Amino acid sequence: MADSSGKFGSAEFVVIANRLPVDRVVAPDGSTTWRTSPGGLVTALEPVMRRKGGAWIGWHGAPDEKLRPFTHQGLKLVPVHLSESEVVEYYEGFSNGTLWPLYHDVIAPPAFHREWWDAYVTVNRRFAERAAKVAAEGAIVWVQDYQLQLVPAMLRELRPDVRIGFFLHIPFPPTELFQQLPWRREILEGLLGADLVGFQLNGAAGNFIRLVRQRVGHKTHRDAVYLPDGRVVRANAYPISIDAAGFEEMARDPAVVARAAEIRESLGNPRTIVLGIDRLDYTKGLRQRIRAFGELITEGAVHPDDAVFVQVATPSRERVDQYRMLRDEIDRLVGRLNGDVGRIGQPPITYLHASYPREEMAALYRAADVMVVTPLRDGMNLVAKEYVACRYDDRGSLVLSEFAGAAGELKQAYLVNPYDINGMKQAMLDAIKAGPKEQARRMKALRKQVMENDIDQWANDFLSELAPATHTKRTRPSREQ
């Protein structure tokens, strides 16, 4: 991807994320396949890259493998390798053992280790160097998420000609928590290498600006940071979304409709199916949700003949201690409830520890009468938006945590505080009992919000702020297509 002089690459638009949109999976017989990577970041960005073209730089999910750039289903992918010790120290360690819990309200205690930090610096530099090689002169480079917060400044040093955007997909913590980080100043300075720093919510952008003023000492005014060299960095909120029309189209597919009916059938055609779909993560409030549903059943407010709860938990970061402990805890909770009140062929909770293709998710969304999304803290939560996009029939109810970024937009959901088990039980009960009219009233309003603020809108808003002159016009597919 280098030009003939070898000085610059040829990609006018570059996305850098810790993960490529696909993971390389090696089967026991040695054959390899590619599987969609987990998480909301990939769901959101993949359609953007399909429409805009350009190169996607990221790790392919396996340690100790150096791969050459390749094209996969029309996407230009540029793999970055991580050694086994970098997976442990940069990915599982600093990214997911330090930053992830620190940025999510310290729900789990963050660990601070100097060798994790050193690996984070090394790997961030590798990503920045790769981007510097791939980007064309004056390209737009868009760095994603908490794993790569040093890349903007490192890249600016190597390639002052490119426009650099950064978007944080997860919450940005309040100053009191961020200050615990021994490398707080380095992280802030890393982010300030960007021209535009994007967050999910206004509060997060405000936290960042305040920290930059207090900790780095730069002058700030509203959304702008004034650097001593005259450069201005902006920080704003851009609530991320999904390819809403794409999800709706998938949900309308006759094969998906048939699969939804099959799912209902195999659950015994209960009156109500309650559904949760999450990465298996301690931020998602799974424990609280299962307890709330369990109490509704054991106290008799909901009869096990009438309602079943399906929980899909996608495996995630399985070698990190806190994730291992969570898995054991959820296994125990589900096992106890099913053991206590289940009958032959009728467990109140169907628990699936697996990842499924998007079509299966769409069928589940279509089959579910009540969707419960109850994280203790979440940057946005795209599952909530996916459910709404799939309910073109204006049916179904969404129970949503106030602590998901999506609550700011999805106000007609049944909003809950996931720490308040009684409040959550009441909201679940209200949602289970809602009649078709009430469902339609809420769902219509939710759909208006989700269908009108899709991923194209998000990318357009961010990119036109980052590079107004070069940005191409929005291409929004019509819903009738």
* Long-range contacts (CB closer than 8 Å, 24 or more residues apart) made by 21-26: 21/45, 21/46, 21/49, 21/56, 21/58, 21/72, 21/75, 21/77, 22/60, 22/72, 22/77, 23/60, 23/61, 23/62, 24/60, 24/61, 24/62, 24/65, 24/67, 25/61, 26/62
For the beta carbon of residue 266, count every other beta carbon within 10 angstroms: 10
Q: Does 21 bind ligand G6P (CB under 6 A)?
A: no
Q: Which stretch binds ligand G6P (CB under 6 A): 7-15, 35-43, 198-206, 441-449?
A: 35-43
Q: Which of 21, 39, 79, 171 binds ligand G6P (CB under 6 A)?
A: 39
Q: Does 110 bind ligand G6P (CB under 6 A)?
A: no
Q: Does 198 bind ligand G6P (CB under 6 A)?
A: no
Angle (CA) 383 388 392, round 5°:
140
Angle between helices 436-452 and 382-390 (to 10 degrees): 120
Q: Does 243 bind ligand G6P (CB under 6 A)?
A: no
Q: Does 170 bind ligand G6P (CB under 6 A)?
A: yes
For the beta carbon of residue 270, count every other beta carbon within 10 angstroms: 17
Q: Which of 98, 220, 316, 381 binds ligand G6P (CB under 6 A)?
A: 316
Which H or E run contains 401? strand 397-401
Nearer Cβ to ligand G6P (170/194): 170
3-state DSSP of 350-396 = EEECCCCCHHHHHHHHHHCCEEEECCCCECCCHHHHHHHHHCCCCCC
Smallest separation (angstroms) from ligand G6P to the CB of 255: 27
Residue nearest to ligand G6P (CB): 39
Q: Does 317 bind ligand G6P (CB under 6 A)?
A: yes
Q: Which of 11, 15, 20, 38 binds ligand G6P (CB under 6 A)?
A: 38
Smallest separation (angstroms) from ligand G6P to the CB of 275: 19
Smallest separation (angstroms) from ligand G6P to the CB of 114: 22
Q: Which stretch binds ligand G6P (CB under 6 A): 3-11, 34-42, 284-292, 460-468?
A: 34-42
Q: How many residues bind ligand G6P (CB under 6 A)?
A: 11
Q: Does 145 bind ligand G6P (CB under 6 A)?
A: yes
Q: Does 40 bind ligand G6P (CB under 6 A)?
A: yes
The backbone torsions φ and ψ at residue 142, rounded to the nearest 5 degrees and listed phi first, read -120, 110
Gyration radius from the chain CA atoms = 23
Q: Which stretch binds ligand G6P (CB under 6 A): 32-40, 200-208, 359-367, 414-422?
A: 32-40
Q: Does 41 bind ligand G6P (CB under 6 A)?
A: yes
Q: Which of 169, 264, 391, 425 binds ligand G6P (CB under 6 A)?
A: 169
Q: Give strand pairing partners of 310.
A: 275, 350
Q: Give strand pairing partners of 78.
A: 57
Smallest separation (angstroms) from ligand G6P to the CB of 322: 13
| Encoded tokens for 334 | 């589900």
Nearer Cβ to ligand G6P (144/220): 144
**Residue numbers of the site for ligand G6P (CB under 6 A)?**
18-19, 38-41, 145, 169-170, 316-317
